[in-house]
């Protein structure tokens, strides 16, 4: 299943189904019919997340089935990221299967890049499949990089999973030298769902409240059912030389 299809499903469930129906027992039964006990486990996880149990957090994500074929990003978001990358060092925070880094590398037009991927769990085979990328296991709230050390920092479909968003954003800003790109889903909160999200952004301002202070250089666009945030830091180091 690709992101475009799940976005259509999410539009129906989040925008067209009334809340009184969406939170009802019959709807919960329908979710359970497809996802089983995972629906109850995710609801329980969200209700206890403020206690910050790292072991439970890891266990939930380790058991979570992969919904999308390769990436959680829509094709439009990928295209926008490729167009907005600047500089020669690029960090993907929450890199998952490394698909976005592969796309960046393949579109570099022969330009030598320093590609870095971070996730709190790195797949065993990822380093073997992508030897040109440096992978680190780390949480976004404590990135293992120096201040202002990465030209472009990318963080897509991650912040909705992080309990302390402000701490995560502070780290992203700390390590970014020139540009910070963030993507979060446009999503409404309900009692139960098929993902372990801890934060929900129904509107642009719902997300921007977590980005305070928002600098004058920043802008946030809606792309499909995602919010796409760009923050400029130091002066432009030169556009990413991609083969478009």
Residue 14's CATH number? 3.40.50.150
Give the position of tokens 């499949």. 129
Pick the residue with more confidence: 10 or 63?
10
Per the prediction, the chain carries an average pLDDT of 88
Phi, psi of 116 (to 5 degrees): -135, 135
What's the domain range around 79? 1-244
- SS3 call for 181: strand
- SS3 call for 6: helix
Is the pLDDT score of 244 beyond 50?
Answer: no
Structure confidence at residue 119 (pLDDT): 94
d(CA 153, CA 200): 22
| % residues pLDDT > 70 (the chain) | 91
User: What is the Cα Rg of the chain in Å?
Assistant: 18
d(CA 101, CA 108): 11
Q: For residues 90 and 115, is the Cβ–Cβ distance under 8 A? A: yes
Into how many domains does the chain fold? 1
Please compute the mean of the pLDDT values over residues 198-213 and round it to a whole number. 96
Instruction: Give the up-direction half-sphere exposure of residue 141: CA atoms within 13 A in the CB hemisphere.
Output: 8
Is the pLDDT score of 151 beyond 50?
Answer: yes
Q: For residues 132 and 193, is the Cβ–Cβ distance under 8 A? A: no
Q: What is the pTM of this model?
A: 0.89
Q: For residues 21 and 31, is the Cβ–Cβ distance under 8 A? A: no
């Amino acid at each position: 299943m690709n992101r475009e299809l799940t976005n259509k499903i999410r539009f129906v469930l989040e925008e067209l189904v009334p809340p009184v129906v969406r939170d009802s027992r019959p709807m919960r039964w329908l979710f359970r019919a497809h996802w089983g006990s995972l629906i109850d486990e995710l609801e329980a996880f969200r209700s206890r997340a403020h206690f910050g149990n790292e072991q439970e957090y890891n266990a939930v994500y380790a058991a979570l089935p992969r919904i999308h074929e390769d990436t959680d990003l829509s094709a439009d978001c990928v295209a926008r990221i490729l167009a907005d990358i600047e500089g020669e060092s690029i960090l993907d925070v929450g890199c998952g299967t490394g698909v976005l880094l592969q796309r960046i590398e393949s579109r570099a037009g022969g330009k030598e890049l320093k590609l870095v991927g971070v996730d709190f769990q790195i797949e065993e085979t990822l380093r073997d499949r992508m030897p040109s990328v440096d992978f680190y296991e780390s949480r976004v709230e404590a990135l293992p990089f120096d201040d202002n050390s990465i030209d472009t920092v990318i963080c897509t479909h991650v912040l909705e999973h992080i309990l302390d968003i402000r701490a995560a954003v502070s780290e992203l800003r700390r390590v970014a030298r020139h540009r910070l790109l963030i993507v979060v889903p446009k999503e409404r909160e309900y009692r139960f769902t098929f993902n372990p999200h801890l934060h929900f952004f129904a509107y642009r301002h719902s997300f921007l409240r977590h980005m305070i202070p928002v600098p004058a250089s920043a802008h946030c666009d809606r792309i499909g059912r995602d919010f796409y945030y760009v923050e400029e830091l130091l002066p432009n180091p030169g556009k990413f030389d991609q083969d478009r």
